[in-house]
Every structure is written in structure tokens, then in C-alpha cells.
Amino acid sequence: MEPRRIALAVVLMAAVLILTPYIFPTAKPAPGSTAVAADTLRDSVAAAAARVGSTTPTTAGASASAPVAGAVGDSLAAAASAPVLIDSTLVKTAVADYRTTNQGAALVGATMTRYQELSNRGRTKEGVVELAAAGDRLLSFRLVVPGDTIALDKQVFRTTESAANGVSTVRYETELAAVAGAARQVAISYSFQPDSYRVNIAAAVTGVPENSFLLVDLPRGFRSSEADTVEDQNHLAYAYKPELKSAEGVTFRSLDPGERRIEPGPISWAVAKNKYFMFGVLVPKGGTPFLEADFTGGPRVAKAATRGEATLVMPLKAGNAAFEAYVGPQEFKRLVAMGREFETSNPYGGWIQGIVQPFATMVITLLLWMKKTLGVSYGWILVIFGVAVRIILWPLNQRAMRSSMQMQRIQPELQAIQARHKGDPQKLQAAMMQVYKEHGMSPFSSLSGCLPMLIPLPVFFALFFVFQNTIEFRGVSFLWFPDISVKDPYYIIPVLVAITALVLSWLGMRGIKANEQQKMMMYLMPGMMLIFFINMASGLNLYYFIQNLASLPQQWLISRERSKAAPLVRG
């Protein structure tokens, strides 16, 4: 009988567990009840924020500040009378829409209303660019006091909004747990500047000792709005500017997951960026610099480095800290206007940064000036720029080519002298110097002749890096290119670059008794150029094609001179 009793007991217990919820249902929380779970509220706010980011932007030029309406208000109506209410605030400026939340006084989203998303064919889509990745925050804070680190994203703040002289301000305030009888109050305010991507941020903390710090957490990633998502992800990086050194970059892929890199201060600014947009924090002019920058590699999906962590340490002076944020496109003029060498937030060139960065700055400045002055598309600007560079360098190239031609003419004479004085180095050197003197040349003539041909290289390298991040080229169509900032979808322009390079090589060999190695290089170099350029930005290919095309007349004229000139041979 014992087994039967056990089985009966199990059946009765299962029946009680199953039927109890139906017989005695749990009462749902009434409107205004504090029983609403915090995580449910957070999910409601996140969903509403995502919907706000997908709505059609208001007319550019509007400047207003208003709480997120509709979905957020409806989702949180049940908690309207609760002492703690999680909400989100939408601030509109003439150039962008920003979203903040009172949960942690964080900046959770930024919509670039003047920039459209690009499809995989390089054409614009209906949506506008949103910087924040789903579920991420662009800016959040932590408070460090002796013996404790407080994550402010766990705190819910009171919200106050105001506007004056076109500046919309959102202020957040809260009280933290008292320590040793002293209450700690935290206030964080955002002041959104009109017609600007600049936001002034100030924090005030009372009841904390002097050796307290504010930790400023930068974005962990960005939402891609580019035609080539993979390329956009490859540009994910942090950068920072030590006060006494040049800016340095830390790409997401340079850090292994969990790898930590600490850079000591003082630091003037730091940014998180993708290919065309960035989130940067800057110390005000004359303000207290950041003490340290801490970078950590994030987890990877399919070996792609799309996540990272960056934290800046800012001291609290008398409980106060202030800095500026730039949340917007990498527009060169706007970055220059920020001052503090902020335009170097794309540290070009790696180990040759000291050479490439100045050239990149000069090139982009010149291209923007040409655009403003001539008023034509950037495609034609690159054509004009390519021709202009060749015209300016024409005299130097002419001199270099003729010097090279002269060296080729006297080669038979030099070889004869070398054979004649093979066993006497002193007589050999004297005889060779005599030949150079008779023809107005020197042993360094070949080297000096090659130098002018190297002058276009810094410009080319500068353009190579400029095309990687210059948002002015983003989405610009020209001829059959849907976007000059991405590769030619039909691979026509890389092939034209290779063909013109082959013609230049053939003209360069004309009139020369070439050996087999030289003939092989004549065909090998264009092939290598095709491989190198095939996935480069179509605008960069266009510039190099125009360079080759503009070089053909000069190369043809020199080849004619070389064909007519007979080698000099003495008995």
C-alpha cells in the first residue's frame, strides 16, 4: 500500500500547483502602483526610444525640447503617481535629435537629421542616421569615492527642462545613500547648442571628499548606416589627445577581447568613432584635463571587432566637473572650429603620421576651398585637382625626365670607362667625374632627377586617408559611381588606371634598349596597381586615373626626344 500512497500524494501536489493560480489569481497592480518592476519600465523606455529613432525628423532649423511622447508616455502612465519614474527626454536642434534618460542621467541616442542612411548600392534610404546601437548608451557615468564605485545608471534622477537663447537644457538630480551622516546629491546637466553638434555637460556632487572622481564611459559601438557595413565596422576606433603629444588611435580590432590598455593623462579629449561619425568629449579650454583613459577590447562576433569599452577619469574639483561633447559627423570645418586640435581625431598614417597628417590637412582644406569657390560636384573637383597637380609639377617632371634621359645617353661612355680603368679605382673615378663635368651633370643627377617624381606620393597617401573619413564625399554620385567614397561597383575605373599605367610604362621604355627584367616590370606594375586599386574608393581611383591621363602628353614628348637622341660613345 505504501507505493500507492506515495503516488497519490504526488498527484495531489501536482494538482495543487497547477490549479492554485486559476483558483486564486494574483491581483494585477493598479495604475500608479509601485509594484511595476524596474526592468519592465526599462524595456518600455528602450522600445519607445527605438520607435522615436525611426520616426520622421522634424524640419531642420527647429529648436525645441520636449519629453518623448506617445509610446513612452503610454507605457509609463501606470506609474505616473509613483515616486520613481523612468522616462526619456527628446531634444531637437537644427542639426540633430538627442535622447537622454533619467535612469543614470545618460545620453542614449543621437539622430543625425541631415544625413540619410545609405543602401548597399550606395543610394540613400528613407531613414536618417542614428548613432546609438540597439540597447547601448552613448554616454554614461560612474562615481568613484574612497572605497566605493557607484554606477549611476542604477540611479533614477528627477528631470528638469528649460530653454534660453536657443539653448535647450536638461538637468537631472538625485540623492545617493548617506555616508557618515553626509547626504550625497548628484546633478548632471546637458546644454544642447543650437545649430551645432556640441553639448555642454556639467556634473555637481555634494557630500563627497576631494579625492573623488567621475568616470565617463564612451559608446561601446555604433549603429551602421553605411552602404558597406563591413568597411564601416573596420573603422571603429577610439582616439585620444595627450596634452603634450599628437593624437593617437586605438582601433577596436587592435584589442583582443578583455585586453586592457591604460593611457595616462593629462588628456585633452577622447573620441569613439566609426567611418563618418563620432562621439567625442573635450576638456573646456583652460579646464581640468582627464587624468586617464582606459580602453578594453569587447567580445567579437565571427571575428569582427564591433565592440569596445572606453572610460575617462575626471577629477571632481570641489565636487564639480565639466566637459564638452561633440556628437555628430566628422565634418572637417566643424572639427577645426572646436579647437584643441580636434581635427586630428582621425590620426592618419600610423607610424608615418608626422608626414601624412599635415598633407592630409592641407589636401582636405584645399578640396573644400575648391568646392566652395567653383561650386561643382566633388567628382569634378577631383578631376580638376588631378590635372592641376600635374600642371604644377610639369617643370619639375620635365627636368627629372631629361636628367634621366641624359644619364641613359652617357651610360655607354661610362661603361667603356669602367672597362678601360677596371684595375685603377683612382683613374676610374677621375675619368667618370670628367664625363659628368663635360655634360653638366654629377653622380647625384640620377637621384635628383627621381626626387620630383616622388612629390605626388604624399598627396596620394593623403588622399588615401582622406577618403576613409571625409564625410563630405559620403553619398556623392559622379558619372556611373553611386558614391565616390566607396569602390566602383563595375570595376571600370581600376581597369582604366591599370591601362593608363601600362601606356605610361610603354612610353617610358620607348627609345631604350630594355633588358628582360625591365620588360617584365612594364607589365607587372600595372597588374599590381589593378590589384591594389580594385577595392579602393572610386574617387581615389578617379584621381589617380586623371593623374595618369594628364601625364601622357609629357611622357610622349620625352619619349620622342629620347628616340631622336643617339647614345654618346667615344673611341
Q: What is the pLDDT of residues 99-147, one digit of tens each?
A: 999 999 999 999 999 999 987 655 556 689 999 999 999 999 999 998 8
* Secondary structure of residue 481 in the 3-state scheme: strand
Angle between helix 456-469 and 378-420 (nearest 10):
150
Q: What are phi and psi of 36, to 5 degrees?
A: -65, 125
pLDDT band at 67 (very low <50, low <70, confident <90, very high): very low
CB of 112 within 8 A of CB of 196? no
Within 10 angstroms of residue 309's Cβ, the number of other Cβ atoms is 19
Q: Which residues of 129-144 are buried (b: 16+ CB within 10 A; e: fewer)?
A: bbbbbeebbbbbbbbb
Question: Do strands 213-217 and 140-145 pair parallel, antiparallel, or not at all (unpaired)?
Answer: antiparallel
* Secondary structure of residue 280 in the 3-state scheme: strand
Q: Is the pLDDT of residue 426 over 70?
A: yes
Nearest to residue 510, comparing CAs of 447, 558, 568? 558
Instruction: Give the pLDDT confidence score for residue 430 in this predicted structure.
Output: 80
Instruction: Give the pLDDT confidence score for residue 470 in this predicted structure.
Output: 86
Instruction: Give the pLDDT confidence score for residue 5 in this predicted structure.
Output: 47
- Determine the Cα–Cα distance for residues 412 and 375; give it in Å rounded to an integer: 54
Total residue length of the chain: 571
Cα distances from 516 to residues 322, 442, 507, 521, in angstroms, run: 68, 28, 17, 9
* Secondary structure of residue 549 in the 3-state scheme: helix
Instruction: Give the pLDDT confidence score for residue 355 in this predicted structure.
Output: 77
> H or E element: which one contains 333?
helix 332-338
Cell of 391: 600642371
Cell of 228: 558597406
pLDDT tens figures, 460-493:
788 888 888 889 999 889 999 988 988 888 999 9
CB of 140 within 8 A of CB of 190? no
Non-local (6+) Cβ contacts of 276 within 8 A are 226, 232, 329, 330, 469, 471, 474
Q: Is the pLDDT of residue 259 over 90?
A: yes
- Determine the Cα–Cα distance for residues 74 and 90; give it in Å rounded to an integer: 16
- As to burial, measured by CB atoms within 10 angstroms (0-12 exposed, 13-18 middle, 19+ buried), residue 253 is middle
Residues of the chain with CATH 2.70.98.90: 38-347
pLDDT tens figures, 317-355:
999 999 999 999 999 999 999 999 999 998 877 777 777
- Determine the Cα–Cα distance for residues 543 and 366; give it in Å rounded to an integer: 15
- Determine the Cα–Cα distance for residues 145 and 147; give it in Å rounded to an integer: 6
CB of 298 within 8 A of CB of 305? yes
pLDDT higher at 393 or 569: 393
Q: Is the pLDDT of residue 80 over 50?
A: no
Alpha helices in 375-455 (DSSP H): 378-420, 425-438, 445-454
pLDDT higher at 452 or 390: 390
CB of 98 within 8 A of CB of 199? yes
Q: In angstroms, how far is the first alpha carbon of the chain from the final one?
A: 130
* Secondary structure of residue 238 in the 3-state scheme: strand
Which residues share a beta bridge with 251?
A: 237
Nearest to residue 35, comparing CAs of 102, 84, 103, 104? 84
CA 524 to chain centre: 34
> H or E element: which one contains 241?
strand 237-242
Residue range 87-103: average pLDDT?
Answer: 95
> H or E element: which one contains 292?
strand 290-297
Nearest to residue 384, comparing CAs of 543, 549, 498, 548? 543
Q: Which CATH number does the domain 38-347 belong to among 2.60.40.10, 2.70.98.90, 2.60.40.2470, 3.40.190.10?
A: 2.70.98.90
Residue range 275-303: average pLDDT?
Answer: 93
pLDDT higher at 51 or 199: 199
- As to burial, measured by CB atoms within 10 angstroms (0-12 exposed, 13-18 middle, 19+ buried), residue 509 is middle
| Mean confidence (pLDDT) of the chain | 79
pLDDT higher at 447 or 326: 326
- Determine the Cα–Cα distance for residues 165 and 5; give it in Å rounded to an integer: 82
Q: What are phi and psi of 159, to 5 degrees?
A: -110, 135
- Determine the Cα–Cα distance for residues 122 and 226; give it in Å rounded to an integer: 8
Cell of 197: 553638434
Q: What is the pTM assigned to this prediction?
A: 0.75
CB of 337 within 8 A of CB of 330? no
Instruction: Give the pLDDT confidence score for residue 551 in this predicted structure.
Output: 87
Alpha helices in 170-297 (DSSP H): 229-234
Q: Which amino acid is at 533?
A: F
- As to burial, measured by CB atoms within 10 angstroms (0-12 exposed, 13-18 middle, 19+ buried), residue 8 is exposed
Q: Is the pLDDT of residue 202 over 90?
A: yes
**Cis before residue 289, ω within 30 degrees of 0?**
no
